[in-house]
């Protein structure tokens, strides 16, 4: 109804932030490279045998829930089809699922690492410019934490592709005013506790129009997706596609980025994540935490998690990085 006080607005002016369902915990059962799969079924069986006891521990560590609430825990597995493609889904996925089942584990959701990069950026993949590119989206959400005493000389991460958790060691004297001591200065971690653990993380390499994203940056995207905090113009990103049970394709690009293999699984996205990974991923996940600590997440997405968890009587940490946890079993 029109009237003197009527205000017209474009519907696109206030994009709605899509809501997603939440489990209490997203439990990652592993992340293997193509080289691991090339070692054969015995390697896969050894992996899941090593994962199994820690899965039980992660479930037990979820803590008590309000009376009448049952824990919702979904499992997932990330396959690296971004940095190499030595095998096909038809050859790789069936033995993977069989090895998990032999260890008494069920993979609810199967994800492709190239999906975290974005279809247009996956090496060897076909371009889909009409689809969201999650890595590019997260890059634009980075808000660097300036170290104390910084003067703005350092180029932004969008130009350099490097992100730190503190102040780099000066590479050269810029002027007497900026470096009155004339001696070497060490790097320093922002908010270090006693001593610094300085980290400088490479997010990508290569030219801007053909970037190769780093493992640490893609793992950061993976965490944000599992936490249900990533949106593209308000729409949820990398939502699972229900697998109908037919044979797996011969090409990775014919496979959706995230597959729901278990029709009765609880939601893919969760209030918190836990990843059971080989120890070689420890430095990568340290880098992930540095990145997540400097990502600006849409307020509406955070508010949805806060409201939903409060209604359930669940406590969710305010900091995004504090919602992630890891297990690095020996010998995995």
Per residue in 127-143, pLDDT tens? 444 456 899 999 999 99
* 54 neighbors 276 (Cβ within 8 angstroms): yes
Instruction: Give me the pLDDT at residue 177, please.
Output: 53
Spatial separation of the C-alpha atoms in residues 215 and 285, rounded to whole Å = 9
3-state secondary structure (DSSP) of residue 43: helix
* 43 neighbors 98 (Cβ within 8 angstroms): no
Spatial separation of the C-alpha atoms in residues 66 and 64, rounded to whole Å = 7
pLDDT beyond 80 at 2:
no
DSSP 129: T
With 0-12 / 13-18 / 19 or more C-beta atoms within 10 angstroms meaning exposed / middle / buried, residue 71 is middle
Average pLDDT, the chain: 86
Percent of the chain predicted with pLDDT > 70: 85
Q: State the greatest distance between any 2 C-alpha atoms of the chain, in Å, as a whole number.
A: 75
List CB contacts of 219: < 8 A, sequence separation 6 or more: 31, 116, 284, 285, 287, 288
pLDDT beyond 50 at 122:
no
* Closest-CA residue to 280 (of 219, 191, 226, 207): 219
């Amino acid at each position: 109804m029109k009237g003197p006080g009527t205000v017209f607005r474009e519907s696109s002016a206030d994009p709605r932030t899509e809501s997603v369902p939440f489990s209490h915990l997203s439990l990652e059962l592993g992340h293997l490279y193509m080289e691991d799969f090339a070692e054969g079924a015995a390697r896969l069986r050894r992996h899941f045998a090593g994962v199994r006891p820690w899965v039980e521990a992660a479930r037990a560590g979820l803590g008590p829930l309000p009376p009448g609430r049952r824990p919702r825990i979904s499992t997932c597995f990330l396959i690296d089809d971004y940095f190499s493609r030595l095998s096909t889904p038809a050859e790789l996925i069936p033995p993977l699922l069989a090895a998990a089942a032999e260890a008494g584990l069920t993979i609810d959701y199967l994800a492709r690492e190239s999906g975290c990069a974005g279809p247009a950026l996956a090496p060897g993949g076909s371009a889909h410019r009409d689809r969201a590119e999650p890595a590019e989206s997260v890059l634009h959400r980075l808000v660097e934490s300036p170290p104390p005493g910084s003067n703005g000389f350092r180029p932004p991460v969008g130009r350099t592709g490097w992100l730190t958790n503190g102040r780099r060691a000066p590479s050269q004297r810029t002027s007497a005013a900026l470096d009155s001591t004339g001696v070497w200065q060490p790097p320093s971690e922002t908010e270090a506790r006693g001593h610094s653990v300085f980290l400088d993380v490479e997010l990508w390499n290569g030219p801007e129009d053909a970037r190769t994203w780093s493992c640490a940056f893609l793992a950061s995207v993976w965490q944000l997706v599992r936490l249900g905090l990533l949106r593209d113009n308000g729409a949820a990103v990398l939502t699972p596609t229900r697998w109908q049970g037919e044979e797996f394709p011969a090409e990775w690009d014919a496979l959706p980025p995230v597959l729901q293999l278990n029709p009765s699984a609880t939601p893919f996205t969760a209030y918190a994540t836990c990843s059971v990974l080989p120890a070689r991923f420890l430095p990568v996940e340290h880098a992930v935490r540095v990145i997540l600590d400097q990502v600006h997440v849409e307020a509406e997405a955070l508010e949805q998690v806060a409201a939903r968890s409060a209604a359930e009587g669940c406590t969710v940490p305010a900091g995004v990085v504090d919602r992630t946890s890891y297990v690095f079993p020996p010998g995995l």
